[in-house]
Amino acid sequence: MLQIDLNQPQRQSKKGLAIIFFNVVKPFVKSFLPIVLILFFRDDESSKFFKISLILGSAFLLISILSVLNFLYFKFYINSDSNEFIIEKGWLNKSKTVVKFDKIQQVNLNQNFLHKLLNLYSVEVETAGSSKTEGKIYAVSGDVAHVLKLKLLEKDKTINEYLQIDSNPIENQTIVNQPKKKFIEISLSSLVKVGITRNYLQTFSLLFVILIQVVEKIQDYYRDEEINVYSQFGDYAEKNISLMLLPFFIVGIFLLVLIINLVRTLLKYYNYKIDVVNRKLFISYGLFETKNTIIKSQRVQILKITQNYFQKLLNVLMLKILQTDSDENTSKKGIGIDIPGVNKSEKEAIVDQIFKKEIQLENGIKPSIRKFVVHFIWFSIFPSMVYFGIAWFQFEEIYIFLTIPLFLITALYQWITYKNAFFYFTEHFIVQKSGFWDVTYSIIEPHKIQKIKTYQRIWHLNLNLGSVVLYTAGGFLSFSIADEVEIRNRVNFWLYNIEKQNLNWM
């Protein structure tokens, strides 16, 4: 192993200047690309080249200066006396990040496409007390990245044994005292099945948001000329797009969403491999951006198993592992680690490695029918009536009839969501079932509960209905409008066992 003295301040690799430059240039592209495109298509030939060249040249010079300054004023090192990992950065606003070794939860070595071309790695340090990356180094050599990971995780003998290296660090990782076992390798066909059967609404919403942002940029540019881009587009659509073409337009959008989902899934999860050593999962995946991470079974707070109807037919499902995360109010809570495209037997093997117990769905309770009635009124009948009233006075007769499918779709959504809602209780597990199309089973172990909240709305007191929220260090599970006596009995049972068993929650 190369002798690298991490007790002395280290800079990132000089080759990493290209990566730092790229990180700085991304926000500039988002801000100025619409302006450059407008100048390119709008201005006359004589002034267009000069304006674009001036903008691009000035931006390149500014980004280059910022990149060099970020490189020169970024240093990292280890304080062996206090067992701390320290990152110092900033030339104008200086900052110093100090991470205690005993709080480090994961050290991830990642590579995107540019990292692979330059043979560099980024290092991300995550702690149990934060929902985000506590410290990040953007570009170091494989030797430095691996030695740093060994140093930061040296208290864990299993991880250190797994990461021991020979002449080629990173690539030739072998286990010293125990042979490395390839636990699961997700096949390309499984990734294809997952890619074409999930995230339809998410991808469509993303496309819609991008379209709105582009239109807003164009609208801002033409604001002084009092040109309304939205009304012009509406007039064009009304004149040139027939209702007969609407089904083809919808099919085209669906195919586009399908292709985007498939490409994103293959790029993100390509070559997904899981090794297992002493109940620790060593995960690596990614085509252009490779990620390496470690899952310690005792730190798993919530395991989510998700499957929809198409995935059930194709025998694939999604797993999500949520580890310790103490910030309950953060918007990033619940991001976790995804394991895509596993079949039923692979899912059971992973669950066994994490929990070492069989999960049984029994002693379940479901919400009161009153929950469906309330949601049906507020989220089906009420929106349909509002739409009908607007359509009656504002739109043509054909749009009024859209009230019927709107009502049927919203009513069906509320009914299926209600039917899928269940809460299961056993001695070793609590399982929440929820969802409409993608049905998710969220699993926690009772001894990892950090806080329990029960409550009753004032109008539920006489109906003997209540709700419960179970908080863990990785997120929470909630179940509302169910039998209050059953909830209270279960809460007392969990609290008793937590005090009695005295098990570690991480």
Residue with tokens 């180094």: 137
**pTM attached to this predicted model:** 0.77
Tokens of 67: 């990149």
43 shares its domain with 85: yes
Query: Maximum CA pair distance of the chain?
Result: 82
CA-based radius of gyration for the chain: 27
Domain finish residue from 186, 220, 240: 186
Count: domains in the chain = 4
Which residues of the chain fall short of a pLDDT of 50?
1, 165-179, 326-334
CA distance 65 to 21: 9
327 shares its domain with 471: yes
DSSP state of 377: I
Q: What are the pLDDT digits (tens) for 157-180?
A: 555 555 554 434 444 444 334 445
Residue type, 154: E
Residue type, 464: N
Residue 466 sits at the vertex; the CA angle it makes with 463 and 469, to the nearest 5 degrees, is: 170
235 shares its domain with 149: no
DSSP state of 365: B
100 shares its domain with 166: yes
| Full domain range(s) for residue 321 | 300-366+421-501
CA distance 343 to 331: 31
DSSP string, 57-102: HHHHHHHHHHHHHHHHT-EEEEETTTTEEEEEE-SSS-EEEEEEGG
Tokens of 121: 């790695």
On whether residue 3 sits in a domain, the answer given is: no
Check residue 120 and give its pLDDT. 92
Check residue 250 and give its pLDDT. 81
Check residue 35 and give its pLDDT. 66
248 shares its domain with 382: no
Tokens of 318: 């999604």
On whether residue 443 sits in a domain, the answer given is: yes
381 shares its domain with 429: no
Contacts of 264 by beta carbon, 8 Å cutoff, 6+ apart: 195, 203
Check residue 218 and give its pLDDT. 66
Within 13 Å and on the Cβ side, how many CA atoms surround 298?
A: 6
Contacts of 88 by beta carbon, 8 Å cutoff, 6+ apart: 9, 73, 74, 75, 76, 94, 95, 96, 97
Q: Name residue 442's beta-bridge partners.
A: 304, 432
321 shares its domain with 236: no
Tokens of 104: 């480090």
Q: Which residues of 49-63 are buried (b: 16+ CB within 10 A; e: fewer)?
A: eeebeeeeeebeeeb
Handedness of CA 276, 277, 281, 286 (dihedral sign): negative
Check residue 278 and give its pLDDT. 75
CA distance 202 to 28: 26
Question: Is beta strand 439-444 parallel, antiparallel or unpaired with respect to 120-127?
Answer: unpaired
241 shares its domain with 127: no
486 shares its domain with 391: no
DSSP state of 380: I
Contacts of 81 by beta carbon, 8 Å cutoff, 6+ apart: none
Check residue 230 and give its pLDDT. 57
75 shares its domain with 135: yes
Question: Is beta strand 95-100 parallel, antiparallel or unpaired with respect to 104-111?
Answer: unpaired
Check residue 429 and give its pLDDT. 93
Measure CA 225 to chain center.
42
On whether residue 347 sits in a domain, the answer given is: yes
Residues 498, 446 contacting (CB under 8 angstroms): yes
Q: Name residue 150's beta-bridge partners.
A: none
Check residue 170 and give its pLDDT. 46
Contacts of 239 by beta carbon, 8 Å cutoff, 6+ apart: none
